Amino acid sequence: MSILLEANDISISFGGIHAVQNLSFQVKKGEVLGFIGPNGAGKSTCINLITGVYMPDTGSITFDGVKLTEKHTIRERVHMGMGRTFQTPRPFGNMTVYDNIFTVALQQNSFAAAHEKTKEVLKLTEMEHWADVASAKLPIEMRKWLDLARILANDPKFIMMDEVMAGLNPNEMENSFALIERLNQAGITILFIEHVLRAVVRVCSRVIVINEGRFLAEGEPREVLDRPEVIEAYIGGKRS
Amino acid sequence: MKTEQKKKWIHQVLPLSCIAIVILLLPFGIQSNYIITVAVTCFLFSCFGVCWNMISGYGGQISWCHAVFVSIGAYTTILMNNLAGWSPFIAIPVSMILSFIISTVIGKISFRYRGPFFSITTIAFAEIVRVLLLNFRDFTGGSAGITRPYIGASFWNLMFENDTPFYYISFVLMVGVVYITYRFEKSKTGYYLKAIKGDEDAAISLGIDTSRIKLTAFQLSAVLTAVIGVFYGAFINYVQPNTICGMDFSVQIGSVVIVGGLGTVWGSMIGAFILIPLIELANILLGAQGGAQLLYGLALIFVVIAQPRGVIYLFSKENRDRIAQKLGKGAKKTSEKIREKGREDI
Ligand SMILES: Nc1ncnc2c1ncn2[C@@H]1O[C@H](COP(=O)(O)OP(=O)(O)O)[C@@H](O)[C@H]1O
Ligand SMILES: [Mg+2]
């Protein structure tokens, strides 16, 4: 498998907080890579570094063979094929579910094609019966799906999901797993950020663990989660 | 599909045509030029409101410098007439270019930043322009203002014996800007702009060029406002910095939309036809010294408290459903009461 994204020795600090330190990892084309770590480990910050919200203090990120610089704005990276969800979903609350997706679809399509694209996305995410609902009135798990659906309207190569399972009940989680599998089968590479370990084992082919902004472990999910240093990071957080 | 078209006819086309016919015939039934003058003011403020709404209603970027764009149109018209005898129709392209340049400068500076930065920039800018107009006395007449003298009726000069021709002109202008807004709302830019109002960070994260979209909407809004300003100048024939370029004027434009309903095409018109006559009435009853300000201040507070979504909400389907539901419940309650009472009687 070829490499889609490579982070090479990236670091960023906010004031005195070293949110990410000398982190290197690779995402292979077509995989679902789990990215886990306790709260405050620097997972969301990594997404922000990859998407261009922040620039790393040191190190570099390469996406699809292109080394990303300050010239690659958030917007440009989106049009290179990146998509991300937010830890707290952010629908366009003044629009229906349909228009949320349609607006994004308009970027790469004519009006007629955007309508087709919207219907296609609604079908893929099984959100057809929510289409005319005001997005501000959606229940939380549907908001998370809407975040995903909107990204899909851009035909991304790579999606970063920031804790999409948090706050879902087992049934809703099961539906989300199925959706992620469908997306992956459609050829989309996924960086699956999660706090819930069970979820990672269920959908990821490989997992990376970070703690306090640093690389901790990497490997097959079940095996990695059994490693003492990973258990310790999660339970105690008193490594020293 | 067919029934949908029929519905559209009954709910939109038919009532709108009726209103249009009534509006077109109205001047024949009205002898008072004063009422026509107020009606023209209503139409023109509807136009200003519709233009302001483009950036501030749909985009959530509240502008307090639209008086500047009105002034550009009005001053250009009167100055060109007085200095060179040129027609307002020549002032139109000139003020379009001027307002385009100015809105581009303001937008480029302020749309890169988030939150209230744009609003504050517009306030500062409007004050600068007002002070400049006051100080370049030789050219602008300073605080005394300048008048466009009457030299005989002519359409080319937009000068008429009474205000009836303006009544029709401003009505056509209103239909024009409403049509443009309608098209704008349905354009790609319109969709992106609404997304920006919904959540700007999310819009950026999905690839929308938010600063460019906000700039485009602001430019369009400014240019259209200046065009209406040309007609406004030709209509009032007198410009003075503190009135036409003051904060009051910008606030009045904003108030019209907020009272009527932000982010809707019809809201601006409803707002204008409520506020403008109210202000006129206040001027008559309370005198021109601030009575009007007080009144529309109160109107604004009332709307914001009673119905923040504006008067237009009262006509929305959502509200009709809500009332129907309420009435339904109320009816049930009374029937239950009657039943209970009946039992008691037994
Ligand atoms: N913009 C910011 N300013 C200051 N500190 C930040 C900022 N973003 C993240 N941090 C800090 O960086 C650390 C990592 O945060 P985050 O990436 O959100 O963790 P995670 O998503 O793994 O829970 C935390 O200590 C957080 O407080
Ligand atoms: Mg996080």
Q: Where are the domains of chain A?
A: 3-89+156-235
The reply to whether A52 touches chain B by the CB within 8 Å rule is no
CB distance A25 to A196 below 8 Å: no
* pLDDT at B339 (0 to 100): 46
**pLDDT band of B18, cuts 50, 70, 90:** confident
Write out the CATH class of domain A3-89+156-235.
Answer: alpha beta
Answer whether A106 touches B (CB < 8 Å). yes
Query: pLDDT tens for residues A107-135?
Result: 999 999 999 999 999 999 999 999 999 99
Query: Separation of B320 CA from ligand 2 center, angstroms?
Result: 43
Q: Check if A36 has its Cβ closer than 6 Å to any atom of ligand 1.
A: no
Taking the model in full, what pTM does it have?
0.89
Task: Identify the CA nearest to A46 among candidates A31, A67, A61.
Answer: A61
pLDDT at position B25 over 70: yes
Confidence label for A218 from pLDDT (cuts 50, 70 and 90):
very high
Residue B337: pLDDT above 60? no
- Residue range A212-231: mean pLDDT, rounded: 89
Tokens at B340, concatenated? 């209970």
Give the ligand with the smallest distance to the CA of A164. 2
Write out the E strands in A143-213.
Answer: 158-162, 189-194, 206-211
Query: What ipTM is given for this predicted complex?
Result: 0.91
Residue nearest to atom 18 of ligand 1 (CA): A44
Average pLDDT over residues A27-35: 94
Residue A236's pLDDT is 64
CB A42 near ligand 1, within 6 Å: yes
Percent of chain B at pLDDT exceeding 70: 92
> Given this model, what pLDDT does residue B345 score?
38
Q: Ligand 2 centre from B182 Cα, in Å?
A: 41
Token pair in block for residue A179: 């959706």
C-alpha B184/C-alpha B179 separation (Å) is: 8
How many C-beta neighbours within 10 Å does residue B187 have? 14
Q: Would you list the domain boundaries of chain B?
A: 31-245, 316-346
More confident residue, A154 or B284: A154
What's the average model confidence in pLDDT over B201-226?
Answer: 96
Q: Is the pLDDT of residue A141 over 90?
A: no
Cα gap A172→A195, rounded to integer Å: 16
The reply to whether A118 touches chain B by the CB within 8 Å rule is: no
Check if A53 has its Cβ closer than 6 Å to any atom of ligand 1: no
B194, B201, B206 member nearest A95 (Cβ) = B194
What residues in B contact A151, CB-CB < 8 Å?
206
Inform me whether the pLDDT recorded for B346 exceeds 50. Answer: no
Residues of B in contact with A99 (CB under 8 A): 191, 194
Average pLDDT of span A67-93? 94
Instruction: With CB atoms and an 8 Å threshold, state whether A51 touches B205.
Output: yes
Q: What is the amino acid identity at position A131?
A: A
> Atom 7 of ligand 1 has which residue's CA nearest to it?
A14
